[in-house]
């Protein structure tokens, strides 16, 4: 254990995102080769970067080309569709089937015509990705959807998970591009997608699920609502926590906003005064790393005004492609970090960050 001592804030060293992945507590319970695991993650995050830059669905297939997770096979989607079509599903729901090998949506529920006022033939992967003239996703949510899609595929291929086909799933919600849906009544709409891996016992040599079954839900948002695009993985209690926390860490590692600055923004959400932010950081470092650090209110204020606001604005511009942003307050900086999925920091990861301070 580190001896208790006073360390000036300028000499405090915060961990890197890669270090946080390698030291995440629940991972220590898994019997895996750490060197290969980190190498695997780094390679997949490089592919996510390519997916974000190119918006090419073939990159997603590259991420899925070798799935190391334990797949418990189930009924093939072709056997499920007739059952789904007979069900009285909710008025605002429809389903589709995406073929990862062919990078196309190969089946769309006829209910899409009633819900989105478009034909099943119009609901294509090109429409989803905005590769043609039309786009399903609101332009402000689009870069976040692409980034998170790559991260979701990365999580789904890890060797530390067990997936029951057509049971475990992830969901993500985004705003619709209003201009493409003239048939809908005027409003602020969101579409939530729940994705289920699907493969059958009929092909025992399959290395990864060829398709996933997607359940879509249309909702009307309040005009003032600001949707934050961020996936949620659903499994048993332990695996759910691990999957969602790793997705957070992979996103943070990909964006690579400095841990030190992010933890300051994290505390700024809950404390109005810089002095209180500094005190909370001092207490958390003492409690988790057994170090006694000092942060003055002037130092914290200088970090926000001279560095953090500018850095988060630059980071947001890089990962959204929007025009250069100007960040004039801590409140706005927090909003930008939230849109990027960096805030709030999950409690176990926040504790881990403080425990790795030296």
Q: Could you tell me if residue 38 is inside a domain?
A: no
Same domain membership, residue 299 and residue 194: no
Express each pLDDT in 177-226 by its tens digit. Answer: 988 888 898 888 999 999 887 655 455 554 555 678 899 999 998 877 77
Looking from the CA of 165 toward its CB, the CA atoms found within 13 Å total 18
Of 233, 252, 271, the residue that ends a domain is: 252
Asked if residue 246 and residue 269 are part of one domain, the reply reads no
Asked if pLDDT for residue 263 goes beyond 70, the answer is yes
Q: Where in the sequence is the domain holding 347, given as residue range(s)?
A: 6-21+257-355
Specify whether 123 is located in the same domain as 195: yes
Asked whether residue 226 falls in the same domain as residue 320, the answer is no
218 and 77, same domain (yes or no): yes
The reply to whether 129 and 272 lie within a common domain is: no
Q: Are residues 228 and 273 in the same domain?
A: no
289 in the same domain as 228? no
Which pLDDT band holds residue 84 (cuts at 50, 70, 90)? Answer: low
Rounded average pLDDT over 69-93:
66
Buried b (16+ CB within 10 A) or exposed e, 179-206: ebbeebeeebbbbbbbbbbbbbeeeeee
94-143 pLDDT per residue, tens: 999 887 777 789 889 999 999 999 999 999 988 988 887 788 999 899 89
Examine residue 32 and state whether it is found in any structural domain, yes or no: no
In a domain, 53, yes or no: no
Whether 33 maps to a domain, the answer reads: no
- Tell whether 154 is covered by a domain: no
**Is 40 within the bounds of a domain?**
no
Phi, psi values for residue 261, rounded to 5°: -70, -35
Looking at residue 210, its pLDDT comes to 64
* pLDDT tens digits, 285-317: 999 999 889 999 999 999 999 999 999 999 999
Amino acid 322: pLDDT: 85
CA dihedral 24, 28, 32, 34 (to 10 degrees): 50
Same domain, 76 and 172: yes
Instruction: Look at residue 3 in the predicted model and tell me its pLDDT.
Output: 44
Q: Is 141 in the same domain as 286?
A: no
Number of domains within the chain: 2
Dist CA 273 CA 266 (whole Å): 13
Q: Hey, is 343 helix, strand or coil?
A: coil
Would you state the pLDDT for residue 247? 94
Same domain for 106 and 242: yes
Q: Which pLDDT does position 164 carry in this prediction?
A: 75
Give Cα separations from 271 to 67, 215, 280, 335 (angstroms).
Answer: 43, 40, 9, 15
**CATH code of 185's domain:** 3.30.450.20
Q: Is 309 part of any domain? A: yes
Both tokens of residue 194?
């729940």
Residue 351's pLDDT band, with cuts at 50, 70 and 90, is: very high
The pTM (predicted TM-score) of the whole model is 0.86
Contact 201, 73 (CB under 8 A): yes
pLDDT for the residue 1: 40
Residue 95 and residue 236 share a domain:
yes
Share of the chain above pLDDT 90, in %: 46
Q: How much is the pLDDT for 23? A: 82
Query: What pLDDT sits at residue 2?
Result: 40
- What is the overall mean pLDDT for the chain? 83
């Amino acid at each position: 254990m580190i001896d208790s001592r006073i360390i000036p804030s300028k000499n405090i060293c915060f961990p890197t995102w890669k270090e946080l992945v390698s030291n995440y507590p629940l991972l220590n319970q898994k019997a895996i080769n750490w060197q290969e695991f980190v190498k695997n993650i780094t390679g997949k995050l490089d592919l996510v970067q390519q997916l974000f830059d190119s918006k090419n669905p073939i990159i997603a297939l590259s991420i899925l080309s070798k799935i190391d997770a334990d797949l418990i096979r189930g009924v093939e989607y072709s056997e499920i569709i007739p059952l789904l079509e007979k069900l009285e599903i909710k008025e605002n729901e429809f389903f589709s089937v995406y073929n990862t090998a062919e990078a196309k949506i190969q089946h769309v529920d006829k209910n899409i015509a009633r819900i989105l006022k478009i034909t099943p033939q119009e609901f294509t992967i090109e429409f989803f990705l905005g590769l043609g003239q039309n786009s399903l996703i609101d332009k402000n949510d689009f870069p976040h959807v692409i980034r998170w899609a790559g991260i979701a595929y990365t999580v789904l291929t890890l060797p530390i998970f067990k997936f029951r086909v057509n049971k475990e799933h992830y969901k993500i919600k985004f705003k619709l591009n209003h201009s493409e849906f003239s048939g809908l009544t005027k409003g602020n709409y969101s579409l939530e997608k729940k994705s289920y891996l699907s493969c059958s016992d009929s092909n025992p040599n399959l290395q990864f699920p060829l398709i996933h079954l997607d359940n879509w839900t249309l909702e009307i948002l309040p005009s003032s609502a600001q949707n934050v695009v961020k996936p949620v993985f659903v499994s048993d209690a332990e695996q759910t926590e691990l999957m969602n926390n790793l997705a957070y860490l992979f996103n943070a590692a990909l964006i690579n906003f400095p841990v030190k600055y992010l933890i300051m923004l994290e505390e700024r959400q809950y404390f109005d005064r810089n002095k209180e932010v500094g005190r909370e950081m001092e207490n958390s470092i003492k409690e988790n790393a057994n170090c006694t650090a000092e942060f003055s209110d002037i130092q914290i204020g200088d970090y926000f005004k001279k560095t953090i606001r500018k850095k988060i604005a630059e980071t947001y511009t890089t990962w959204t492609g929007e025009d250069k942003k100007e960040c004039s307050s801590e409140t706005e900086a927090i909003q930008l970090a939230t849109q990027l999925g960096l805030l709030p920091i999950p409690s176990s990861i926040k504790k881990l960050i403080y425990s790795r301070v030296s």
